Amino acid sequence: MAAAETFQIQGREVILPCIVRDAGSGNAMYLVPAEAAQKLLPGDAYEVLEVAPGQAQLILGIIDYRDNDLGDYNEMAIIFLVKPRSAGADAAGTFIYKLPVNQAFTCEAGCTIWGFPKSVEKIDMTYTEATVSGRLEMDGQHVFTLTVPRGQAESLAGDETQTPTYTYIAGIPHATAFSTGGANALNAGGEGVVLELGDHPLAGELRGLGLEGAQPVMSVWNEHMTGSFGPESKLA
């Protein structure tokens, strides 16, 4: 059996795979112009997938990590569905455009180990009986607040789903296997999702993709997500 891959981050040892034992995870999925989305992707290793003619998929995410090898922290995400340019559509995966967090340790670990575009920012999570909201501030400016319904979870029979997540490490394209499990509350049509865009330039980029007042295709809330981040691998 191969030895586990380990990293030293801020004097602590991180052993892969990195395990998520409990997190609240929500997202809203939007359709955006594929050409505009492609212009936001750095480098030329990846291309957005058209899920409809001229349309790409963008996901806004809020994650409340409660029990995770990298700590207890909040995270928000801007994600595109992509594939490596040299691959077919069966290689579809996620490319995280921005991944702000509110803790320094997970920021350094994510950037160093997997090439995730993390930065330390102000993130507030607010729970009500019916909804969960994540509010992101960068440089003292509001970027966006996403509110999703908590809803009634539907069991996925305990099966974990695995999706490749694509990144760059030192300019070289890499892939990481990310698996998630738990019971999802699916909200087809995105009813009850509220997206508020702020004044930060990143909010302007989201407006440029047509998200001001846009209706999401769907939203998902997972009250107790589990998962793991495996080792990264260089793309051929």
Q: What is the pLDDT of residues 70-90, one digit of tens each?
A: 999 999 999 999 999 989 999
Closest CA to 120 of 128, 131, 109: 109
Query: Which pLDDT score is estimated for 186?
Result: 86
Beta strands at 46-48 and 6-9: parallel, antiparallel or unpaired: unpaired
- Indicate the residue type of 116: F
- Indicate the residue type of 38: Q
Query: Which pLDDT score is estimated for 159?
Result: 63
Residue 114, SS3 per DSSP? helix
Q: What is the pLDDT of residues 97-145, one digit of tens each?
A: 999 999 999 999 999 999 999 999 999 999 999 999 999 999 999 999 9
Whether 230 is covered by a domain: the verdict is no
The pTM assigned to this predicted structure is: 0.95
Whether 227 is covered by a domain: the verdict is no
12 vs 160 pLDDT, higher one: 12
* Count of domains forming the chain: 1
Whether 155 is covered by a domain: the verdict is yes
Phi, psi (5° rounding) for residue 228? Answer: -160, 150
Q: What whole-number distance in Å separates Cα of residue 121 and Cα of residue 139?
A: 8
Q: What is the pLDDT of residues 151-207, one digit of tens each?
A: 765 544 456 788 999 999 999 999 999 999 988 888 889 999 999 999 999 999 999
Whether 106 is covered by a domain: the verdict is yes
- From residue 33, give the alpha-carbon distance in Å to each of 38, 55, 209, 211: 9, 5, 7, 10
Whether 236 is covered by a domain: the verdict is no
Task: Quote helix, strand, coil % in the chain, to nearest 5.
Answer: 10, 60, 30
Query: Which pLDDT score is estimated for 157?
Result: 44
Range of the domain at 90: 24-222
- From residue 170, give the alpha-carbon distance in Å to each of 45, 85, 146, 156, 228: 13, 19, 31, 37, 23
- Burial of 108 by CB count in 10 Å (0-12 exposed, 13-18 middle, 19+ buried)? middle
Whether 59 is covered by a domain: the verdict is yes
Query: Which pLDDT score is estimated for 161?
Result: 84
Give me the residues paired with residue 126 across strands.
Answer: 133
Whether 201 is covered by a domain: the verdict is yes
Whether 160 is covered by a domain: the verdict is yes
Query: Which pLDDT score is estimated for 67?
Result: 97
Domain CATH for 76: 2.40.400.10
